[in-house]
Amino acid sequence: MQTPNRKLDHLRITLIEDVEAGNTWLEYVRMIHRAVPELNAEKVDTEVKIFGKKLKAPIIVTGMTGGNEHAAKINAIIAEVVEELGLGMGVGSQRAAIEHPELAWTFRIARERAPNALIIANLGAPQIVKGYGIEEIKKAIEMVDADAIAIHLNTAQEAFQPEGDVDFEGLIDKLSKLIDKVDKPIIIKETGAGLDYDSVKMLREIGVKAFDVSGSGGTSWVKVEMYRAREKGQEVLATVAKWLESWGIPTAASVIETRAAAPDALVIGSGGIRTGLDALKVLALGADLAGIALPALRAAYRGKEELEKYLKAMMLAIRAGLFLTASKNVKEVRGKAIIFGPLKEWAVERGVYEEWLKARRPF
């Protein structure tokens, strides 16, 4: 039962250790205050429609866990809260349940506790390369009655995982043959190292229409694997992981690159989103949703009330931010921020600045 045991390691480490590294660069994004918004804050519309589901705010708790009893309890709490608040959630990688069907309940509990919420299934790119196809994807979707499925990219994590799988060769070809066969939207999701322009461009060209950037600045899975390597006595691997724990594209830069490469796609801005202001900034940069992971996980671990308070604060902050930028709805906040410093230099040097300026506009 190697996969379930690894999932338990991941849950334990993310709850008790310092697993954050890097920088989101959201400090180089400044919202533009409108002194006369000509709006009634109570009439601001924070609702968004995603994959046929209406969310009361552009917030999703991104996929994190499953595969063991402790993870199931956390999935249940997150599901109950997003159901009550009208938000969405993803589950963690379902590989454990594909390999061990008796663990499917640890993921299925999300749909049981959130019958109406947006739920996103989750499988890993290495498994797609190794032979997972339409059958496994359908199993993952049916397991949680999902509205979409995320295929996660975790090259940085796998590179430093003691039992990591670093074969990603042929992924684009395999995905291209699956996209039209899957009757639910496919989201390509990074896991803390950020999506880049060239990868998104390739993926959009084969038909992918949704991306979760999961940039650097939040949970570093390289750092998580550093702790695991130390525990297993693999000091050389742990040392190299420590050196590269901040690896990746900062979240703000990744949103810019992704939106520039896929102007018509759904973009989830995630990776180090900790406050309502962080969420507003990724929306202003061009994301359709803000994704939250570690703070929601730790709040859920402390109890349902803690998660409710946190997510309610996020929702209120977004409403306030729309009002203060004279945005009647979520789309109107796009472009109502300026970027400066290293973030702007990055966009210019990468040659995506002009494309992004056009693509981030809501109309």
pLDDT in tens, 21-32: 999 999 999 999
Residues above pLDDT 90, as percent of the chain: 94
CA distance 157 to 104: 24
Cβ–Cβ under 8 Å, residues 79 and 110: yes
Residues 6+ apart with CB under 8 A from 242: 223, 226
DSSP string of 143-185, one letter each residue = HHT-SEEEEEE-HHHHHHSTT-----TTHHHHHHHHGGG-SS-
On the question of pLDDT at 131 being above 70, the answer is yes
Short-list 14, 89, 70, CA closest to 298: 14
Cβ–Cβ under 8 Å, residues 149 and 184: yes
pLDDT band at 268, cuts 50/70/90?
very high
On the question of pLDDT at 362 being above 80, the answer is no
CA distance 208 to 119: 18
On the question of pLDDT at 4 being above 80, the answer is no
Short-list 156, 159, 279, CA closest to 220: 156
Handedness of CA 44, 212, 305, 56 (dihedral sign): positive
**Nearest-5° Cα angle at 222, 67 to 105:** 10
pLDDT in tens, 38-96: 999 999 999 999 999 999 999 999 998 898 999 999 999 999 999 999 999 999 999 99
Look-up: residue for tokens 């975790």? 154
Cβ–Cβ under 8 Å, residues 133 and 151: no
The fold for domain 2-359 equals: TIM Barrel (3.20.20)
Exposure string over 31-65, b if 16+ CB within 10 A, otherwise e: beeeeebebeeeebebebebbebebebbbbbbbbb
**Nearest-5° Cα angle at 55, 175 to 295:** 80
Q: How many CA atoms lie within 13 A of 278 on its CB side?
A: 24
For residue 64, the model assigns a pLDDT of 87
pTM beyond cutoff 0.85: yes
pLDDT in tens, 95-104: 999 999 999 9
Residues 6+ apart with CB under 8 A from 179: 186, 206, 207, 208
On the question of pLDDT at 318 being above 70, the answer is yes
pLDDT band at 6, cuts 50/70/90?
confident
Look-up: residue for tokens 């919420």? 117
DSSP string of 270-289, one letter each residue = ESS--SHHHHHHHHHHT-SE
Q: Which helix (H) or strand (E) holds 348?
A: helix 341-349
